Amino acid sequence: MEKSTAPSPCDTNTQSGSIFNRLIGWMIDNPIAVNLFTVAILVLGVYSFTSIKQETSPSFKVDEIEIRANFPGATPKEIEQGIVMPIEHSLTENTNIDRISATAVEGSARLVLTLNDGVNANSVIAEVKNDLDAINSFPSSMEPLQISLVEELDSLVEFGLYGNLPETALRQEATRLKTELLNQFDIARIALAGVRDTEVIIEITQDSLYQYQLTLPEVTQRIAAEVTDISAGSISTNAGDILIRTLGRKEQIAHFRNIIINSKSDGAEIKLGDIADISYGFSQQEAPFLVNGQPGIMLVVYQSDTSKPIQLSGAIQDFIKQYQSSLPVGANLTVLDDQAQSFQTRIDLLLNNGLIGMILVIIALSLFLDMRLAFWVCLGIPIAIIGSLAFMPMLSIPLNMVTLFAFIITLGILVDDAVIVAENIYQKFQDGTAIEAALKQGAAEMAVPVCFSVATNIIAFVPLLFVPGELGVMYKPMTLLIFAIFTVSLIEALFILPYHLKQLGNPRKMGRLGQIQQKSFNAFESLREIHFNKMLRTSLRHPWSILAIFVSVTLVTFSWVNSGRVDSGFVPKVESQRIDAEVEFPAGTALVDKKRTMGLIEAAGIRAFARLREPNSYKHIMMSIHANSASTTFQIVEDTQRSYTARQFVDTWRSEIGELAGTKSLFFDYEVGPGGGKELSIELAANDSEMLKQATFELMKKLQQIEGVTDIDSGLIDAQREYTLSVTPRGSMMGFNSDSLGELVRNSFYGEEVNRQIQNSEELKIRVMRHRNEQFKANALGDLLITSPSGEQVLLKQVADIIPILSASRIDRIDGIEQVEVSASFIRSKANVALITTQISDSILPALMQKYPGVNAELGGSARTERKVSAQLMTGIILALFIVFSFLAIYFKSMLDAILILSVIPLCLAAAMLGHIILSHSFSVMSLFGMIALSGLVLNGSFVLLLEIKKHLCSRVDIETAIINSTISRFRPVVITALTTTVGLAPMLFETSTQAQYLIPMVISLSFGTLFSIATILVFAPALFLISERWHVRYSSKSNASVIETLKTADTLLINRISTSTAS
């Protein structure tokens, strides 16, 4: 190891330093330049504020491409083989795609392509479209693919339009309201939920077809030819070109009835109305959506990028109040959710906490610094915050709860560099240096330490830029904003602050407040010079004991956390005001049974409110029922207006529901943020479907045996009856094949879409189908009368073998391999999530894969995200540590010194963990982010302390004296920095509102870590430096003694040789 020499403390007048120092000195001598520079920073920040995008919720969307395919009437297996697999095969070699997720259900498929970070999404979607256009094996009856980028819009307001009105009347009223809102306000989009697509349904009976000697395909072709507008070109005349177009578009039912299908032998026309029933209908099965027990429709309003959510929401709500009078009798319109209100609450929360934090920081600085010093140091806080606003539009940083938190998290940290500069100037002035010289020398001497301080703070946050996926998207803007805040604070500390400290040279008027501050200042000096001095000298007499105590506490804390005694989760569990009871039903469950079950669940929820003795603490109830799922939603009041938590209500609701018959699973969702959904997700994948099924059922049995695991579900539970058709030899002779037979049967039941047209801004499908009264039940499918390609009419059972089987109602695939997801929830009062997760990953899954060699099983959902985030985050952490280590080693010309400075990090991380243990708060990725930010802060104190020690050593004092003097001189800045950071975050630490819970783990890590850093930097680091220097001296002494002994031996040998030569 090389000798520890640091040229910077002993020789600060390098060429680059002198240039930097001259710039600082020039600013001190030019008050106009300082004032103009300050005003320019403030004006630019204020001016930029109007250009900042405002979001009611932080964005966490990654770049994804969605592919939708509709194949009406097709089974999930047909969808998989005919659509999904060809798409997967065509996209396998696209290196821009990270993951292909596919889901096949009856009649449709959805594929989501997750793109790699940093790729151009628009160019990738163009490549995908070209690849899919080249596929020529898609089924002929499949609708065109819908390919689009997954769009994330910021929802602003949700309205519920409801009443005892027909579905068509509700839809028309919702469409009218939607049009009015879009015309009057700057809105990106309005989505309608709880509505079905309208269509014109043309139903024809078998008797009518037989009577008029027609077939369903013939009627379909004739209708298609009559409902399309066709351009016939143009004719040139003296008056100009005249366009010619044949009109086939039909606007009303009567127009469809008049379509001529055929003519009789006597010349009489056969019109569509003679053979068919024509009506308006809906394309899907009935899917009730209820608001407060009445049929309803939900309108979701999405804000545009340029709109201001609070102002826009207020304007929309004023409009709705006026619009109420124009509603038809029996219709009601209510606000279901207003994100702008939550956004305003978040802003008020952070501003209030930030203001309280700033006041506490000012008080803390005033207690320990000269009042004038404290005032100008605190003035750097608003300058840094306002100045950083100028960077937000340039870096596309939105204003949301996460980015607002950047201001609070840096509130105490950003005074660190100002305290370092101000304290050094003040100390020189107190030592008798003239104020002008003290300003220039004090600022110049601290330029390098302050630049390093800001650099390490920035580098400490660099790992957050490596976080992939949703969390990375959400926290990247916050990280960039923190960089901007630190940069502006550095500029303020070096070029603005020193000039204002000229007032230290003016006589100070000692008022009542000044006297109180002076007493506090004197008490702090007494604490430093007497009590701390004594404790420091005692600890340096026993450095190994100090080392043992700190290391022991750290190891015990790490061991306690690693033992699983502290609960943990990847994403913090933040409660929402929206509480959903989501139910999965077996395939084929009758609508009446689903309605009855959801009615029981809703009634149980109302009883739960009564048990909690707050029966009116919810705003409204929503119920939504779909094909195989349903949900009941309670929108509860704000947490300040109720005494129970969302989790307490869910537990009470669950107990009121009891056992539910006829359902697959029941899941309660009451949390917000990325990673929402069931807490446990296990993904099993295999090419062998049968082996995959066996492994899935065995895994579910294992999970049922674990106490605290509930709501266990998988896609394999839900199987539906399916009939397979195989063409018989007679059918082949009549011209049937598998494709033609399947298409014929599908069109007989589902019908065939002949056209689409736009009416009242809505797409309208026109569908021809066999009359619904004649659609056979499953056990009479063979009696379906069909027409062969040769025109002969036969029964289906005469040309096909019909075999009933059970098949999956849903098929999931990941990257071309069939997958089943087993999901579950935890009852946290009975389960330790960390221990159960470890048991599953380390024991249950390896045993399962050993028993079923072809099956791959791993934790999915948030656990998969955690693995990916942890890997990328570790890369960022290693890179950041390497950069800091390299800088330290180069600066001090010693790798040992760099290691000594970095050694304080594990101790402060242990303190952050200890904070979670003391407050009984679970660990999360937010806790880790706080620890990363903490690392930069504690490095600064350790670095400046060692720098001070090296400076004293240059004065030829002994090691112990150098360490004692340096530590005492650094006592005030270290304590002030730690206290200001802690008190700046303290209001958030004790915040009980739901809005703040997502950020509290990060606050715990920072506040406890920085507070403990006082002991780490002022007690542990001096002891460690003393041991290091003593070892270095001892090693150097031994080396020198060895060299002297070697030289003496060489001299003796040389003398002996000379004597021998002379004698000869």
CB neighbours of 1032 closer than 8 A, spacing ≥ 6?
A: 1, 3, 4, 896
- Given a cut of 80, whether residue 141 has pLDDT beyond it is no
Tokens of 173: 């009223």
Q: What is the dihedral of CA 1020, 1025, 1030, 1035, to 10 degrees?
A: 130
Q: Determine the pLDDT at residue 143.
A: 84
3-state secondary structure of 71: coil
CA pair distance 890, 2, nearest whole angstrom = 12
In a domain, 872, yes or no: yes
Q: CA 1047, 1051, 1055: angle at the middle one, nearest 5?
A: 175
- Given a cut of 90, whether residue 382 has pLDDT beyond it is no
H/E stretch holding 690 reads helix 689-704
CB atoms within 10 A of CB 57: 19
Q: What letter would DSSP give residue 305?
A: T
Provide, rounded to the nearest whole percent, the portion of the chain with pLDDT above 90. Answer: 13
- Given a cut of 70, whether residue 10 has pLDDT beyond it is no
Q: What is the DSSP string of 285-300?
A: ----EEETTEEEEEEE
CA pair distance 492, 450, nearest whole angstrom = 11
Going by pLDDT thresholds of 50, 70 and 90, the confidence category of residue 347 is confident
Going by pLDDT thresholds of 50, 70 and 90, the confidence category of residue 13 is very low
User: What is the rounded average pLDDT for all residues in the chain?
Assistant: 81
Span 596-622, mean pLDDT? Answer: 92
CA pair distance 477, 399, nearest whole angstrom = 9
CA pair distance 110, 98, nearest whole angstrom = 17
Find out whether 633 and 622 touch, Cβ atoms under 8 Å. yes
CA pair distance 865, 468, nearest whole angstrom = 9
- Given a cut of 60, whether residue 1041 has pLDDT beyond it is no
Q: Determine the pLDDT at residue 1051.
A: 55
Rg (CA), the chain: 38
CA pair distance 816, 818, nearest whole angstrom = 7
Q: Determine the pLDDT at residue 247.
A: 46
| pLDDT tens digits, one per residue of 523-568 | 888 888 888 889 999 998 898 999 999 999 999 998 888 776 777 7
Q: Determine the pLDDT at residue 431.
A: 79
Is the pTM higher than 0.85?
no
Find out whether 446 and 420 touch, Cβ atoms under 8 Å. yes
Going by pLDDT thresholds of 50, 70 and 90, the confidence category of residue 16 is very low
CA pair distance 165, 330, nearest whole angstrom = 7
Q: Determine the pLDDT at residue 1056.
A: 62
Nearest to 360 by CA among 882, 489, 368: 368
Find out whether 685 and 699 touch, Cβ atoms under 8 Å. no
CA pair distance 797, 314, nearest whole angstrom = 64
CB neighbours of 860 closer than 8 A, spacing ≥ 6?
A: 681, 682, 683, 821
> Of the segments 86-100, 807-821, 1039-1053, which one has the largest average pLDDT value?
86-100
Span 754-782, mean pLDDT? Answer: 71
Going by pLDDT thresholds of 50, 70 and 90, the confidence category of residue 388 is very high
Q: Determine the pLDDT at residue 1049.
A: 63
CB neighbours of 734 closer than 8 A, spacing ≥ 6?
A: 788, 789, 790, 792, 794, 799
Considering only residues 37 and 214, tell me which one the structure prediction assigns the higher pLDDT: 37
Considering only residues 516 and 451, tell me which one the structure prediction assigns the higher pLDDT: 451
Return phi, psi of residue 82, to 5°: -90, -20
Domain count, the chain: 1
What does DSSP say about strands 289-291 and 618-625: parallel, antiparallel, or unpaired? antiparallel
CA pair distance 1015, 981, nearest whole angstrom = 15
CA pair distance 1045, 1039, nearest whole angstrom = 10
In a domain, 268, yes or no: no
Q: Determine the pLDDT at residue 8.
A: 46
In a domain, 21, yes or no: yes
Tokens of 1062: 């002379």
Q: What is the dihedral of CA 340, 345, 351, 352, to 10 degrees?
A: 160
Q: Which amino acid is at 985?
A: L
CA pair distance 775, 743, nearest whole angstrom = 16
CATH of the domain at 1014: 1.20.1640.10
CA pair distance 116, 836, nearest whole angstrom = 32
Span 201-216, mean pLDDT? Answer: 81
Domain of 507 in residue numbering reads as 7-51+369-568+867-1036
| pLDDT tens digits, one per residue of 859-916 | 887 777 777 777 788 888 888 889 889 988 888 888 888 898 999 889 988 998 998 8
CA pair distance 296, 287, nearest whole angstrom = 11
Considering only residues 906 and 423, tell me which one the structure prediction assigns the higher pLDDT: 906
- Given a cut of 60, whether residue 238 has pLDDT beyond it is no
| pLDDT tens digits, one per residue of 103-121 | 998 888 999 998 887 788 8
Q: Determine the pLDDT at residue 678.
A: 67
Q: What letter would DSSP give residue 923?
A: B
CA distance from start to end of the chain: 47
CA pair distance 757, 248, nearest whole angstrom = 11
What does DSSP say about strands 276-282 and 198-204: parallel, antiparallel, or unpaired? antiparallel
- Given a cut of 90, whether residue 606 has pLDDT beyond it is yes
Q: Determine the pLDDT at residue 955.
A: 77
Going by pLDDT thresholds of 50, 70 and 90, the confidence category of residue 18 is low
Q: What letter would DSSP give residue 995?
A: G
Strands (E) in 428-565, as ranges, are none
| pLDDT tens digits, one per residue of 906-947 | 998 899 899 888 888 888 878 887 888 788 778 888 888 888
- In Å, how far from its chain's centre is CA 402? 11
Considering only residues 662 and 596, tell me which one the structure prediction assigns the higher pLDDT: 596
CA pair distance 292, 476, nearest whole angstrom = 41
Q: At what angle do helices 512-526 and 371-388 cross, to 10 degrees?
A: 90
Out of 604-608, 705-709, 899-903, 909-913, least confident range: 705-709
In a domain, 350, yes or no: no
Tokens of 391: 């960077």
In a domain, 1063, yes or no: no
In a domain, 424, yes or no: yes
| pLDDT tens digits, one per residue of 950-997 | 888 887 778 888 889 889 988 888 888 888 888 877 777 777 666 567
Q: Determine the pLDDT at residue 1019.
A: 92
Going by pLDDT thresholds of 50, 70 and 90, the confidence category of residue 806 is low
| pLDDT tens digits, one per residue of 294-303 | 999 999 998 8
Q: Which amino acid is at 776?
A: F
| pLDDT tens digits, one per residue of 39-78 | 999 999 999 988 888 887 776 666 889 999 988 778 888 8
In a domain, 374, yes or no: yes
In a domain, 799, yes or no: no
Nearest to 111 by CA among 135, 134, 128, 130: 128
CA pair distance 141, 649, nearest whole angstrom = 49
Span 1050-1058, mean pLDDT? Answer: 56
